[in-house]
């Protein structure tokens, strides 16, 4: 995977990073497979990065948005692999919708279109919600994978 730690403040490099991301760079190769124990913590990390992405869209920090997406793509590839291994096609399909939303945010970032990027973040959150409604349940001390999912 390419790193773009040098991208800060250099719009051209950042846009290039976004192009890479939108092109689907970010396979889960070399990453550890998620387990039921590491799934929740990974989701919590995802939530924080999505928060960062929203701030970066608000601030028009496009290179930083590229860095956020560069983290989110491989994480959702891991989530996808988790559900694929579980044989839950519905959840795999929902992850696919989430990845599509990430691509759209990446394309909006490349075009530096703030309204479109904001709409993309809203659409992204909608995809989180739909999977949570379908496959997540609340417990006394947090959340877990719905039984049967």
- Check: CB of residue 51 under 8 Å from CB of residue 43: no
- Check: CB of residue 81 under 8 Å from CB of residue 33: yes
**At closest approach, how far in Å is the CB of 55 from ligand HEC?**
14
Is residue 69 involved in binding ligand HEC (CB under 6 A)?
Answer: no
- Check: CB of residue 27 under 8 Å from CB of residue 79: no
Nearer to ligand HEC, 12 or 32 (CB): 32
Stretch that binds ligand HEC, among 18-26, 63-71, 106-114, 138-146 (CB under 6 A): 138-146
Is residue 91 involved in binding ligand HEC (CB under 6 A)?
Answer: yes
Among 19, 25, 40, 81, contact with ligand HEC (rule: CB under 6 A)? 40
Stretch that binds ligand HEC, among 13-21, 23-31, 39-47, 115-123 (CB under 6 A): 39-47
Residue 74's Cβ-side half-sphere holds a number of Cα atoms within 13 Å equal to: 16
How far apart CA 11 and CA 14 sit, in angstroms, is: 5
Contacting residues for 108 by C-beta, under 8 A, at least 6 apart: 114, 116, 117, 119, 120
Is residue 43 involved in binding ligand HEC (CB under 6 A)?
Answer: yes
DSSP codes joined into one string, 28-49:
-TTPPPP-HHHHHHHHHHHHHH
Is residue 123 involved in binding ligand HEC (CB under 6 A)?
Answer: no
**Interacting residues with ligand HEC (CB under 6 A):** 39-40, 43-44, 46-47, 50, 79, 83, 91, 94-95, 98, 124, 127-128, 131-132, 135-136, 142-145
């Amino acid at each position: 995977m390419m790193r773009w730690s040098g991208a800060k403040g250099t719009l051209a490099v950042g846009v290039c990073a976004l192009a890479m991301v939108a092109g689907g760079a970010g396979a889960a190769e070399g990453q550890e497979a998620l387990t039921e124990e590491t799934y929740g913590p990974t989701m919590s990390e995802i939530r924080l990065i999505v928060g960062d992405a929203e701030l970066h869209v608000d601030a028009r920090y496009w290179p930083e948005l590229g860095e956020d997406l560069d983290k989110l793509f491989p994480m959702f590839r891991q989530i996808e692999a988790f559900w694929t291994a579980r044989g839950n096609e519905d959840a795999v399909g929902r992850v696919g919708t989430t990845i599509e939303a990430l691509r759209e945010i990446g394309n909006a970032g490349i075009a530096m279109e703030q309204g479109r990027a904001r709409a993309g973040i809203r659409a992204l959150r909608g995809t989180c919600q739909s999977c949570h409604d379908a496959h997540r349940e609340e417990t006394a001390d947090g959340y877990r994978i719905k039984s049967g999912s």
